[in-house]
Amino acid sequence: MMRWPLLAALALAASPALAQDMGGDTPPAQDSAAATQAPRAEKYVAPYIELGQVLTADLTYDDVLTYSEVAAGIDAGISTRSAQGQLSYRYERDIGWGKHLDDSDYHQGLARAAVGVAPGVSIEGGALAVRSRTDIRSAAPAASQPNGDNLSQVYAVYAGPTIGTHVGVVGVSGSYRFGYTKVDSPNYVPLGADQPRLDLFDSATSNTAQASLNLAAGDVLPVGITVSGGWDREDAHQLDQRYEGKFARADLLFPVSRTLALEAGAGYEKITIGQRDALLDADGNPVTDANGRFVTDKSSPRRIAYRTDGVIYDGGVLWRPSPRTQLEAHVGRRYGGTSYAGSLTWHATPSVGARVVVYDDVETFARQLRNGIDGLPTSFLTAGNVFGNAFGGCTFGTSGDHPGGCLNDVFQSISSSGYRARGVDAVVVASHGPVQTGFGVGYARRHFYAPDTNANFTIAGVDDQSFYAQYFYNRALDSRSSIGANLYADYYESGIRGAAGVYSTGATGTYNRRFGRLDTTASLGLFAYDSKDIDKDITAQALISARYNF
């Protein structure tokens, strides 16, 4: 509900001396990605169409298939004093040759924007379209693989206003966000013997509002004071699930020096996650519809999956030894136990930066996805993996002050149940002359919540986890050609009894050559996943394509 990074922004707003020592004016209470982008062309719009031919070879079963791709997309961006944003979207239709490969299509894209509409008022938002793994226990093919097992098409969008102003010496800030998330039913999901079926996420809408008042240290008192509150509600279609959270808290900031401050806060928080039962058959198994989702028992009362209601408190430190380095760390009482969170940012140069985030939140899939998109930069790199999922893993920024973020923790699987998400993400991005590189790594762990029912199996109390790493490289050879590479490695472990871990790796190499408005691409990829519960798979792919830019 309440993100730990918000506390750092509130702390800086309450300490102008510390913010000034960090190299700028006092930032608003809520971080805006629009203020942290490197200069680029003010406006550009580049629609395109693309034709390509792909050869895919299953090296495990010695099977070779080929298909044609027909794609259309658009790349666009804006960078002015009042607006920052970027859009990269692509629709692809894959047409199989022969009887063993069905035609398929998918969408992939990312949009992030922040637009100032009046002094102190901006509209911020984002949208995402990706293909992602559905069940953490099952196959892990390349996201672009036609008819790949265990893949779902995911769409998400959110938008809303952000306000930041002053009334006398008191800073006033607030925000509202509306969000919508939709997941199509997946392709076949192979599972190990005796593995229970899990429910499949359908769609959800959310409404989120936050507001704060802050008084800077030294204006009236020697300490900074912030009072904040918020409300968040999400209604999911599947099993009529509902998430509702609210909080109110007060925070004090104690400046120790121009580079160090201590923070302490306390308040009240209430979070409730509830849902109705699934309809059961005579054997006690959930009844499913044509898309494989559990059918809701409309006569069932709404049952509580998770509830916390009480006092929260925490203490922390905010350290900024230079305008380019910031560390924050918090420890406190939340969710009925001890909670740790923090972040480290390092802006070495305008083109080199790193960010590490430690998080601990009670989430749903749609909420975590919305928050993850919100943390991505409004200027990002799009070149790279033509076979993999362009935005389902780590997205790298174009400047060192906003290096990017990863959505791997969200997409380790698509859950229809609520959970407590804890983990760490780290992203590094660097550009030097013709070379651009990015590296992301992380660990994610989820503890699931579900109500007690009469079903044969419940996800309640299950813990799953994943480890992930991704590397991106791109080099311009001259004004018309470039080479690129992408590497990734993942490990997924389900806490469901009897489910084995799944290893997934991939590597791609790409060569691009431009002839006026025509871009040509040649690419090779090698992908593999393995688990003792499912068949091992090693796939090689080769692509030749031509793109016409309008």
Question: Over the stretch 111-128, which tens digit does the pLDDT of each residue have?
Answer: 999 999 999 999 999 999
Domain count, the chain: 1
Q: How confident is the model at residue 387 (pLDDT cuts 50, 70, 90)?
A: low
CA dist 121 and 186 (Å) reads 40
26 has a pLDDT exceeding 50? no
CA dist 9 and 25 (Å) reads 12
pLDDT of residue 3: 44
Closest CA to 411 of 428, 423, 402: 423
pLDDT of residue 23: 37
Q: How confident is the model at residue 219 (pLDDT cuts 50, 70, 90)?
A: confident
pLDDT of residue 136: 93
Domain with 293 in it: what CATH number? 2.40.170
pLDDT of residue 422: 97
SS3 label, residue 520: strand
Give CA separation, 457 vs 85, 199, 238, 451, in Å: 45, 11, 17, 11
Give CA separation, 47 vs 91, 157, 214, 382, 395, in Å: 12, 21, 45, 14, 21
**Mean pLDDT across 8-19:** 47
% of residues, the chain, pLDDT over 90? 76
Convert the pLDDT of each residue in 151-192 to its tens digit. 999 999 999 999 999 999 999 999 999 999 999 988 888 887
**Mean pLDDT across 526-544:** 90
Give CA separation, 318 vs 36, 228, 262, 346, in Å: 20, 19, 6, 14
Convert the pLDDT of each residue in 266-315 to its tens digit. 999 999 999 999 999 888 889 999 999 999 999 999 999 999 999 999 99
Residues in the chain: 550
Average pLDDT, the chain: 89
236 has a pLDDT exceeding 60? yes
pLDDT of residue 388: 61
CA 212 to chain centre: 25
SS3 label, residue 372: helix
547 has a pLDDT exceeding 70? yes
Is the pTM higher than 0.75? The answer reads: yes
User: Which residues form the domain of 371?
Assistant: 4-549
